[in-house]
């Protein structure tokens, strides 16, 4: 016997209504009744025939995909903790602590070294043991001897490949082994330890030059992280909201798959005497079974996706699949929350359905959806965000600014968009009248049951709104975290102080490097006017006459001359006979009194006009030949490197780095061109891109399943229309219209809500709107996905309009 079809007539008393003098039979009550009925629903889900199995499979797959993404999100704390643990395990104590250590059999000199290869960082350290009991770095079995190095597996593979030919020239060491997994941050990290007998604890150092040589007696130092800008915290919060909220909506939608057929089965149960409460418990049991199977499916999908984690890069290092483990607390929360949501959604859904023994009645007296409470949700979100206008700054020390308030406001606004969609769809299609047959079929279907149409596009509507908002937020603040330099053909570097003769030698070495068009190396020292130490800063450039001619127009020059250079159209701030004072950096003093070098500009100094160096800079200030200043007595000299390359010669960049390493492994030169991003900003942006890709895949799969499920629900209707003479093109057109109408209304709502939320968030972080039309790519991707899924479903529509679709059992 086939289950009763839905009816639209008035409700009649069911056979379970008690009659006078005939008390209702009693059975288990309380928890026992719940257990019995939930178990019965679970049995129906897996043994109720092909239709029940198909519905259970749809629910399990939909919930499983959502659970897999939630498991990935729940793995972020463990991933972060694992990377932090390995980083702390190989870090060393800072310079202040190391100076209290005395050399012994248990100490080691450690010098951090950093370079780049094709814009990927290559980090390492030079090691010099001071005794046989010197500590070992994590993952290293024995310290490398001078001239040897141990490397990470990724660096070992690169050095052995043809792609690493230029990098091999940079390392004058023999590879003596590889670093174990505990000593590297990720599977593709380029890291090494090299033995050296050249490093010493009193080597010059400082920001922009290189890290200090430190003496250590152990590896492992817990470093306090740098404070994060509140703007970045807002970006992180909104990224989590935008990525996770659509997953929750998707899971709630997946639980409702095949609802109409389930309700007809429940009507059959009512016919044999099941009361309404038991019927709802049985329906909850079906949903609970599908959700539990979804947890199993989600675990399997997560394990499959985890193997691809090495393709994700965070801060220039790939993610290790072993680190992608859900936090136990969050995993338990998912395991409890997902089945609970499934049961709750089922019970809420059944409140709008009257299930009687003779059929299913859905809102027999159509009730218009109310707008007022739907508007309260986004209004509450805006009420949380409005007090924060202008309250979030770039200052990482600004203190608490309401982190949860930002997240709560964003969540409420997006939930409000989801709540407004069914009302907007109902109100929009209610005014449609007339038109072609396909249009009328589509509009009447949506008018009679707007809920499924709204659910089909609800997830992607919220995802589009969130993506538009976060895109506006990223674009509005990227100027604070992204630097776009105009040229790739220039390099610069800062190194410890050198004599003018050494600087001249360095210049010749760089000029002889293939691919270098011009190079200039100078010795620099900052000074201030003795009578105005706080404001009168000046630069002192020391070099021979050939070097000084590269930075100024000199009519004549010989050793012993001093010049005062200034930019064109500017008057010199320094004068002959002016007293200057030079001091070392505060971080070099270690509590001692500053080293000072006092010097007076000779009265014979001539004023000259500065010219651009290879980097386009002007060397303003004093230009001095070697005999006029005792470079060895300067408290804080630095070597400035300026290099101009042949445009488009990328290998020249690596050859310049090789030349710098041949001078000293501690000399580092930087490529000036390209886009530089603050590391935390780049990490959040990478997480957003990866999460968006996974979310789009999830929504696409869910949309396809929902579309096919709705077509199955309407199979007999479409076959009937075809049998009565309706053209197949009209039936196919109605399916397209049924997709297009919700998509247009949902996209309109997403654009309005996303732009509004994005504008509000920019006001919170003091950002500005860069491009009001930046949402177009987001809308294009969302609409394109829906169109693709709809087109792929058309063959199924042709199949379902055949006359054999009228057969029933």
Q: Residue range 510-538: average pLDDT? A: 82
Residue 493: which of 520, 525, 517 has the closest Cα? 520
Q: Which residue among 182, 216, 250 closes a domain?
A: 216
Q: Which residue among 216, 242, 269 closes a domain?
A: 216
610 or 213: which leads in pLDDT? 610
pLDDT confidence tier of residue 396, bands split at 50, 70 and 90:
low
Based on the fold, state whether residues 634 and 495 are members of the same structural domain.
yes
Report whether pLDDT(563) > 90.
yes
pLDDT confidence tier of residue 541, bands split at 50, 70 and 90:
very high
In a domain, 310, yes or no: no
Helices (runs of H) and strands (runs of E) counted in the chain: 21, 22
Q: Which residue among 171, 199, 216 closes a domain?
A: 216
pLDDT confidence tier of residue 91, bands split at 50, 70 and 90:
confident
330 or 55: which leads in pLDDT? 330
Q: What is the pLDDT of residue 99?
A: 63
Question: pLDDT tens, 687-739?
Answer: 777 778 777 787 777 777 777 777 777 777 777 777 777 777 777 788 888 88
Q: Name the domain count of the chain.
A: 3
| Cα distance between residue 158 and residue 165, in whole Å | 9
In a domain, 576, yes or no: yes
Report whether pLDDT(137) > 90.
yes
Q: What is the pLDDT of residue 13?
A: 45
Helix residue ranges per DSSP H, 256-327: 259-271, 276-306
Based on the fold, state whether residues 615 and 705 are members of the same structural domain.
no
The terminus-to-terminus CA distance of the chain in angstroms comes to 7
In a domain, 771, yes or no: yes
Based on the fold, state whether residues 475 and 547 are members of the same structural domain.
no
437 or 265: which leads in pLDDT? 437
In a domain, 602, yes or no: yes
Q: Residue range 535-543: average pLDDT? A: 80
Instruction: Give the DSSP letter string of 736-769.
Output: HHHHHHHHHHHHHHHHHHHHHHHHHHHHHTT---
Based on the fold, state whether residues 691 and 619 are members of the same structural domain.
no
9-13, 155-159, 170-174, 728-732 — which is least confidently predicted? 9-13
In a domain, 339, yes or no: no
Task: Give the pTM.
Answer: 0.74
Residue 287: which of 331, 332, 251 has the closest Cα? 251
Based on the fold, state whether residues 664 and 537 are members of the same structural domain.
yes
268-277, 380-389, 616-625 — which is least confidently predicted? 268-277
Based on the fold, state whether residues 117 and 145 are members of the same structural domain.
yes
Highest mean pLDDT among 252-261, 329-338, 393-402: 329-338
Highest mean pLDDT among 257-271, 414-428, 764-778: 414-428
Extended strands (E) in 52-168: 108-117, 120-129, 148-151
Highest mean pLDDT among 312-316, 447-451, 527-531, 630-634: 630-634
Based on the fold, state whether residues 661 and 761 are members of the same structural domain.
no
| Cα distance between residue 513 and residue 653, in whole Å | 10
Q: What is the pLDDT of residue 141?
A: 92
Based on the fold, state whether residues 666 and 758 are members of the same structural domain.
no
pLDDT confidence tier of residue 784, bands split at 50, 70 and 90:
confident
Domain encompassing residue 546: 490-671
Based on the fold, state whether residues 758 and 708 are members of the same structural domain.
yes
Q: Residue range 337-342: average pLDDT? A: 91
Cα torsion for 622, 623, 628, 634, to the nearest 10°? 60
What is residue 592's three-state secondary structure? Answer: coil
Based on the fold, state whether residues 681 and 629 are members of the same structural domain.
no
Q: Residue range 778-804: average pLDDT? A: 77
In a domain, 245, yes or no: no
Highest mean pLDDT among 2-6, 127-131, 317-321, 448-452: 127-131
pLDDT confidence tier of residue 437, bands split at 50, 70 and 90:
confident
pLDDT confidence tier of residue 675, bands split at 50, 70 and 90:
low
Question: pLDDT tens, 592-625?
Answer: 566 788 899 999 999 999 998 888 888 888 999 9
In a domain, 195, yes or no: yes
Highest mean pLDDT among 236-240, 424-428, 532-536: 424-428
In a domain, 350, yes or no: no
pLDDT confidence tier of residue 535, bands split at 50, 70 and 90:
low
Q: What is the pLDDT of residue 161?
A: 92
| Cα distance between residue 202 and residue 218, in whole Å | 20
| Cα distance between residue 412 and residue 417, in whole Å | 9
Based on the fold, state whether residues 698 and 570 are members of the same structural domain.
no
Q: What is the pLDDT of residue 676?
A: 59
Q: What is the pLDDT of residue 224?
A: 57
Q: What is the pLDDT of residue 759?
A: 92
Q: 358 near 3, Cβ under 8 Å?
A: no
R_g over Cα of the chain: 36
Q: Residue range 49-58: average pLDDT? A: 80
26-35, 217-226, 737-746 — which is least confidently predicted? 26-35
584 or 138: which leads in pLDDT? 138
Report whether pLDDT(332) > 80.
yes
Q: 341 near 255, Cβ under 8 Å?
A: yes
Based on the fold, state whether residues 108 and 195 are members of the same structural domain.
yes
89 or 230: which leads in pLDDT? 89
Q: 524 near 493, Cβ under 8 Å?
A: no
């Amino acid at each position: 016997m086939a289950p009763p079809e839905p009816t639209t007539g008035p409700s009649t008393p069911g056979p379970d209504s008690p009659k006078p003098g005939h008390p209702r039979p009693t059975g288990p009550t309380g928890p026992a009744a719940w257990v019995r009925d939930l178990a019965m629903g679970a049995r129906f889900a897996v043994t109720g025939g092909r239709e029940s199995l198909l519905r259970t499979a749809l629910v399990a797959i939909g919930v499983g995909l959502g659970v897999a993404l939630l498991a990935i999100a729940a793995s972020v704390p463990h991933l972060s903790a694992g990377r932090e643990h390995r980083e702390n395990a190989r870090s060393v104590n800072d310079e202040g602590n190391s100076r209290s250590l005395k050399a012994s059999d248990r100490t080691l000199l450690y010098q951090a070294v950093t370079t780049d290869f094709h814009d990927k960082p290559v980090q390492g350290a030079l090691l010099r043991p001071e005794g046989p009991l010197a500590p070992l770095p994590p993952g290293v079995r024995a310290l490398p001897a001078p001239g040897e190095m141990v490397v990470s597996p990724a660096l070992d593979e690169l050095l052995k490949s043809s792609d690493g030919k230029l990098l091999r020239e940079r390392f004058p060491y023999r590879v003596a082994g590889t670093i174990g997994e505990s000593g590297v941050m990720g599977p593709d990290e380029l890291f090494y330890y090299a033995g050296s007998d050249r490093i010493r604890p009193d080597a010059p150092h400082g920001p922009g030059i290189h890290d200090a040589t430190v003496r250590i007696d152990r590896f492992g130092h817990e470093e306090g992280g740098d404070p994060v800008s509140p703007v970045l915290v807002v970006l992180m919060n909104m990224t989590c909201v935008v990525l996770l909220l659509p997953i929750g909506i998707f899971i709630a939608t997946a639980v409702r798959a095949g609802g109409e057929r389930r309700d007809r089965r429940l009507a059959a149960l009512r016919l044999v005497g099941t009361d309404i409460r038991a019927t709802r418990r049985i329906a909850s049991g079906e949903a609970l079974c599908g959700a539990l199977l979804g947890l199993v499916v989600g675990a399997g999908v997560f394990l499959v996706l985890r193997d691809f984690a090495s393709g994700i890069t965070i801060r220039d290092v790939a993610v290790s699949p072993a680190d992608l483990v859900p936090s136990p607390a969050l995993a338990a929360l998912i395991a409890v929350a997902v089945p609970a949501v499934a049961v709750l959604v089922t019970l809420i859904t059944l409140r709008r359905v009257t299930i009687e023994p003779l059929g299913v009645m859905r809102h027999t007296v159509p009730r218009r959806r109310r707008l007022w409470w739907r508007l309260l949700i986004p209004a509450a979100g805006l009420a949380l965000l409005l007090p924060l206008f202008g309250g979030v700054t770039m200052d990482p020390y600004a203190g608490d600014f309401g982190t949860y308030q930002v997240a709560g406001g964003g969540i409420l606004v997006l939930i409000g968009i989801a709540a407004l969609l069914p009302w907007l769809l109902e109100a929009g299609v209610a005014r449609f009248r007339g038109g072609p047959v396909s249009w009328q079929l589509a509009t009447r279907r949506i008018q009679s049951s707007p809920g499924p149409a709204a659910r089909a596009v609800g997830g992607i509507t919220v995802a589009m709104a969130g993506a538009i908002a976060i895109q506006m937020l990223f674009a509005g603040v990227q100027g604070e975290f992204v630097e776009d330099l105009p040229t790739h053909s220039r390099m610069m570097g800062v190194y410890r102080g050198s004599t003018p003769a050494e600087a001249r030698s360095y210049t010749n070495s760089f000029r002889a490097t293939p691919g270098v068009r011009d190079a200039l190396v100078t010795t620099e020292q900052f000074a201030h006017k003795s009578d105005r130490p706080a404001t009168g800063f000046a630069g002192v450039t020391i070099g021979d006459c050939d070097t000084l001619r590269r930075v100024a127009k000199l009519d004549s020059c010989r050793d012993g001359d001093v010049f005062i250079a200034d930019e064109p159209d500017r008057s010199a701030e320094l004068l002959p006979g002016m007293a200057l004072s030079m001091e070392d950096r505060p971080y070099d003093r270690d509590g001692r009194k500053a080293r000072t070098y006092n010097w007076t500009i000779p009265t014979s100094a001539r004023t000259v006009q500065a010219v651009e160096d290879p980097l386009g800079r002007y060397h303003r200030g004093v230009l001095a030949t070697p005999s006029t200043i005792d470079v060895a007595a300067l408290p804080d000299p630095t070597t400035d490197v300026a290099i101009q390359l042949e445009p488009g010669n990328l290998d020249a960049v690596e050859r310049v780095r090789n030349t710098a390493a041949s001078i000293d492994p501690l000399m580092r030169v930087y490529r000036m061109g390209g886009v530089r991003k603050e590391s935390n900003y780049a990490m959040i942006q990478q997480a957003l891109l990866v999460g968006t890709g996974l979310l789009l895949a999830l929504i696409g799969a869910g949309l396809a399943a929902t579309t096919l499920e709705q077509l199955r629900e309407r199979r007999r209707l479409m076959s009937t229309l075809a049998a009565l003479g309706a053209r197949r093109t009209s039936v196919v057109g109605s399916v397209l219209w049924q997709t297009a109408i919700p998509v247009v209304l949902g996209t309109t709502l997403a654009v309005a809500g996303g732009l509004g939320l994005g504008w509000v968030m920019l006001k919170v972080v003091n950002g500005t709107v860069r491009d009001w039309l930046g949402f177009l790519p987001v809308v294009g991707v969302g609409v394109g996905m829906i169109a693709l899924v709809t087109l792929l479903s058309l063959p199924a529509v042709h199949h379902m309009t055949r006359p054999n679709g009228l057969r029933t059992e």
